[in-house]
Structure 1
């Protein structure tokens, strides 16, 4: 997911010199191509998440398009006050990209785990939340994020997630993706758990269960129309996510 994000961001930066990538002393193993191409569109703010969020707010006011990138707990929790007061309440066009969804950084311990980020950020006004589940969805959500007016949180995995879609799906903010239709059960997956859900769907198909399979790469706004139609059609819904049930999908 990270590599796809960097490629997509690089492609967008070629067309928009207002895009400024800001990191807090990490990401250098994947961002070298971006830095080499656009040295004036990259800032290393150091280990100062609150400061880099406030700095991004000022840049947005001046017409730039800042993209904050860090490990999820550091870019969503440590700087929550700045996200709330500086970005959302002023409806500033700043993008937050967090890497390491769920237990992606498992061996690093609870400081690097992200099981509350969606619940925390979805409470904020004007915050859009995108949680792609495979590289195709990362490419699409990166484009949607950069062309959406207002604060956006993009949640990425880092475990080499494979493509689940066979081609680029038709995506838009506020809509889920119907991957497979069925009549007995609906399975809705988001973010890093799309791969796990796809494996379950494959097993259900083999035993003849008619299962509706939905990817939900946009958590806020949520596609309630698709959820309600699925509930009416299949009567049963199972959600699969690497996040606390409280505040999650």
Structure 2
């Protein structure tokens, strides 16, 4: 099994800020908008270097989406920034009508996603955003796994023509992907080859899946681990090729199991190559206040939960 090294824990939102700094220096069409959360989005360096390309809209997220849509008409590439709950649920009508329907080149960048937002509680821990965004026609949905990948994704989406939803988080998590990586939208990454089960993960659950795979290897189970950083468009070929070898799959995400990565994978398998599947996700519930680690444990979003799902799904292979 390939070993991955934690290069030092960093928050993925800082990866977004680092990517914006690069874009500020290399792409004069990129502009940033923020809904009174500059510190949380880590874009102060971009602002310092490009004050004329920054728009502080205040706590007016719906207006921010409309302004961003308008800026694209002038040839700009607007990056909007606020918490994931406010980037999607609060402004869904504006995104649908002014951005998605019109296929505007807006990059909707959402911090503090998922249950690892932690102590702010259920009102801020959106667990439905991937589902909301992936159902919009023409919307690309990206959920990177660490600081380096978030930075690379931020830079890459500036070159993509069309609306993008980029999701990232608040807590410091292991940073283990290459600093110089080439981020290819829609292309899954095979992190570990295996023969007994496929683990398909996104976001914070990628590192947890690698831990689980290492533990499973010590128990005689060979797990293939795939990083699905782009949920839409989904790399269906990578998934199908893997399950043809392993015959079973576990999907892992920090999102409600309704509407998330797991459902997209299930649709792919149902129509092309059915195999047993287990879902690591929140089970149709809101979150609550607590530390990220406490919440990931309680809601079954960690390496131990992935291991249990693997044991369950591999037993189903013989009767499927």
The residue aligned with 2:202 is 190
Query: CA offsets, 1:30-82, max 9 Å, x none?
Result: 32222111111111100011111001111111111110011001011111011
Query: CA offsets, 1:184-234, max 9 Å, x none?
Result: 011111012112212111211223321101100000000111111111110
Superposed CA RMSD: 1.4
The residue aligned with 1:221 is 233
Please show how residues 95-134 of structure 1 align to structure 2 within 5 Å: 95-134=107-146
Number of matched pairs? 249
The residue aligned with 2:24 is 13
Question: For residues 181 and 256 of structure 2, what CA distance do their matches in structure 1 show?
Answer: 27
Question: For residues 130 and 232 of structure 2, what CA distance do their matches in structure 1 show?
Answer: 9
The residue aligned with 2:3 is none
The answer on whether the counterparts of 1:137 and 1:168 sit within 8 Å (CA) in structure 2 is: no
Please show how residues 77-226 of structure 1 align to structure 2 within 5 Å: 77-165=89-177, 168-226=180-238
Provide runs of 4+ in structure 1 moved above 6 Å: none
Is 1:22 the counterpart of 2:36 in the alignment?
Answer: no
Shift, 1:167, TM fit: 5.6
The answer on whether the counterparts of 2:213 and 2:222 sit within 8 Å (CA) in structure 1 is: no
Shift, 1:139, TM fit: 2.2
Shift, 1:162, TM fit: 1.4
The answer on whether the counterparts of 2:34 and 2:80 sit within 8 Å (CA) in structure 1 is: yes
The residue aligned with 2:244 is 232
Cα 1:171–1:208 shift into 2, 3 Å: farther
The answer on whether the counterparts of 1:59 and 1:65 sit within 8 Å (CA) in structure 2 is: yes
Cα 1:161–1:78 shift into 2, 3 Å: same
Question: Secondary structure, in 3 states, of the residue corresponding to 1:241?
Answer: strand
Shift, 1:118, TM fit: 0.5
Question: Secondary structure, in 3 states, of the residue corresponding to 2:115?
Answer: coil
Once the two structures are overlaid, the 10-residue window that deviates more, 201-210 or 110-119, is 201-210
Is 1:47 the counterpart of 2:59 in the alignment?
Answer: yes
Question: Secondary structure, in 3 states, of the residue corresponding to 1:212?
Answer: strand
Question: For residues 239 and 76 of structure 1, what CA distance do their matches in structure 2 show?
Answer: 23
Shift, 1:111, TM fit: 1.4
Question: For residues 65 and 30 of structure 2, what CA distance do their matches in structure 1 show?
Answer: 15
TM-score, length-normalised on structure 2? Answer: 0.75
Question: For residues 32 and 243 of structure 1, what CA distance do their matches in structure 2 show?
Answer: 29
Q: Which has the larger radius of gyration?
A: 2
The answer on whether the counterparts of 1:127 and 1:153 sit within 8 Å (CA) in structure 2 is: yes
Question: Secondary structure, in 3 states, of the residue corresponding to 2:65?
Answer: helix
The answer on whether the counterparts of 2:190 and 2:225 sit within 8 Å (CA) in structure 1 is: yes
